[in-house]
Amino acid sequence: MSFPSDLEIARATALKPIGDLAYEMGLSADLLEPYGEDVMKVKLSAVERLADRPRAKYVVVSAITPTPLGEGKTTTTVGLGQSFSHIGKRATVTVRQPSMGPTLGIKGGAAGGGYSQVVPMELLNLHLTGDMHAVTAAHNLLSALVDDHLHRGNDLGLDLHDITWRRVLDVNDRALRNIVIGLGPKGDGIPREAGFDITAASEVMATLGLATSLHDLRVRLGRIVVGYTRDREPVTAEQLGGAGAMTVLLREAIKPNLLQTLEHTPVLVHTGPFGNIATGNSSVVADLIGLRCGDYLITEAGFGADMGAERFFNIKCRVSGEAPDAAVLVATVRGLKAHSGAHRIVAGKRLPAELFDERPDEVYEGAANLRKQIENIRMHGVPPVVAINAFPGDHPSEHAVIREIANEAGARAAVATHFAHGGAGAAELAEAVAEAADEPSRFELLYADEATLREKIETIATRVYGAAGVEYYPQAARSLDTYERAGFGHLPICVAKTHLSITSDPRRTGAPTGWTLPVREVRASVGAGFVYPVCGEMRTMPGLGSSPAAKRIDIDENGEIVGLS
């Protein structure tokens, strides 16, 4: 008998009335705004209203450096959240909202998988409550104001060749990456080069994710830099008069969305900042609410621990003032075999047959990345737990190797089968996380606000990535000097690099040392509140693959969605 699809599993599950779920979390009706039958918005006043309640243990879920196979981080986050009810505890989960671009492109949905999903999965993956569209509208309003300002004389002196604010759309469309706008009669605008990013890559999205209140959001939006004058002076959204209207467009989007898992664990879904050039974490306000609604808050950080977890620690926690109690590092047998360099694995292609042979030595050979990611968590003073995400083709001897490596590196480890067995399959993991979270907290940030931008970059490169040093291209060096003079030097760093390697080269597996991190350019997300060095080619507008998921998605004779994965 074949294993049912995610959509079939999701549809076969009876949902708990969302009002009952909210009541169990301690959210009164006046803090909630129903959106249909199965989703609610949570008002921001919940942050202050719940502040006096006991604080949950704060757990971040990260992973080894991901391979084209995927390590199952979202599924593990959901499964772990479900598992606490099996050991007599209550958990809340916070995750990012999926972007429809990847959902309709090569990746498919991002609601978890198997018996560890967020539901209703169709709504989660497609529009939800419209937050993505609100971000798109707010971003593009500012884009329109930039070009209208140019059309009406450019009193602020924006340099047409130094306008950094593009446009966004929540689709995968490579033809929009680089365009020319303003063509046609004089009244149609000033011709110039421009382009589109995907909405998840918008600075407005990152700003929304890091704002702590509506007023804070308004202030942050006003600080957004759209470009520079010929004298390299920044021009902001406040100067263009756009921040107020942008805030109004985001007034509902700043409220987290309440959904549930297949086992009725509450899930706060909020914001979806890009993982390559932004934080790759769900919102601060969702975590501030979730931390007062149970015994544990489980939140997911994008990509490997060198990226999402490092940004969670040094950007998100810096903003929220909260300290994590434990971190989960998801690892798979096949992922570590991939890091051994013994297999050529290409996304969308058939996996090599030998990948499924019992080869514990190969797992051991690929363990350098696991060891380094454990170290990356421990250097922040956070107890790590390795979640061995088990697949049917694994062998016990291979799981034993991962457990041994984790223990030698000072981490707990547990095998989890939550994809096939839901929360019950991650009960051992929940016990290990609970033990780790009970250890005295020693959390510390990696660098001080007062450090220079170069010092912060070099700290991340050498300590987290294992680089020997950093090389700054001339354009990057000039930008860093400009940002320091403009007063941006206190901001944290969000390194934009490939997620496929702990280095800046996507072809390098494991955890290489002795290499140099090349910083090609540096950009400032002043509204969101970070500076991001660009260390490689970053695609901020994905393209569609040869067989996009959109071609398989349809409705059946009953009007039900089919083909969504």
Taking only the tens place, the pLDDT of each residue in 56-89 is 999 999 999 987 767 799 999 999 999 999 999 9
Instruction: Using the predicted structure, report yes or no on whether residue 139 has a pLDDT greater than 70.
Output: yes
Instruction: Using the predicted structure, report yes or no on whether residue 254 has a pLDDT greater than 60.
Output: yes
- Residue 347 pLDDT: 66
This prediction's pTM: 0.95
Q: What is the Cα–Cα distance from 545 to 93, expressed in whole angstroms?
A: 31
Q: What is the Cα–Cα distance from 427 to 436, expressed in whole angstroms?
A: 14
Residue ranges, CATH 3.10.410.10, the chain: 453-534
* H or E element at residue 530: strand 530-534
Measure the CA dihedral 441/446/452/453, to 10°. Answer: -130
Q: What is the Cα–Cα distance from 368 to 133, expressed in whole angstroms?
A: 41
User: Residue 1 — very low, low, confident or very high, per pLDDT cuts 50/70/90?
Assistant: low
Instruction: Using the predicted structure, report yes or no on whether residue 565 has a pLDDT greater than 80.
Output: no
User: Residue 310 — very low, low, confident or very high, per pLDDT cuts 50/70/90?
Assistant: very high
> Burial of 487 by CB count in 10 Å (0-12 exposed, 13-18 middle, 19+ buried)?
exposed
Q: What is the pLDDT of residues 387-441, one digit of tens each?
A: 999 988 899 999 999 999 999 999 999 999 999 999 999 999 999 999 999 998 8
Q: Which fold has domain 453-534?
A: Formyltetrahydrofolate synthetase; domain 3 (3.10.410)
The whole-number average pLDDT for the span 505-511 is 91
Instruction: Using the predicted structure, report yes or no on whether residue 184 has a pLDDT greater than 80.
Output: yes
Q: Which residue has the higher pLDDT, 546 or 240?
A: 240
The tokens of 82 are what? Answer: 């479900």
Hey, is 357 helix, strand or coil?
A: coil
Class at the top of the CATH hierarchy for domain 6-130+253-437: alpha beta
- Residue 379 pLDDT: 97
Residues 6+ apart with CB under 8 A from 497: 276, 307, 504, 517, 535, 536
The whole-number average pLDDT for the span 271-290 is 94
Instruction: Using the predicted structure, report yes or no on whether residue 109 has a pLDDT greater than 90.
Output: no
- Residue 107 pLDDT: 66
Instruction: Using the predicted structure, report yes or no on whether residue 151 has a pLDDT greater than 90.
Output: yes
* H or E element at residue 41: strand 39-42
Q: 132-249 — its CATH code?
A: 3.30.1510.10
Q: What is the Cα–Cα distance from 37 to 43, expressed in whole angstroms?
A: 17
Residue ranges, CATH 3.40.50.300, the chain: 6-130+253-437
* b (16+ CB within 10 A) / e for 339-364: bbebbebeeeeeeeeebbeebbebbb
Residues 6+ apart with CB under 8 A from 33: 40, 41, 42, 43, 255
- Residue 348 pLDDT: 64
Q: Residues 264, 268, 273, 276: is their CA dihedral positive or negative?
A: negative
Tokens 């480890």 locate to 413
| Alpha carbon distances (Å) from 24 to 21, 287, 420 | 5, 17, 27
Residues 6+ apart with CB under 8 A from 301: 60, 61, 62, 280, 281, 307, 308, 309, 311, 312
Residue ranges, CATH 3.30.1510.10, the chain: 132-249
Q: What is the Cα–Cα distance from 438 to 234, expressed in whole angstroms?
A: 47
- Residue 275 pLDDT: 86
Q: 110-124, 295-309, 441-455, 507-521 — which is least confidently predicted?
A: 110-124
- Residue 108 pLDDT: 67
The whole-number average pLDDT for the span 276-283 is 93
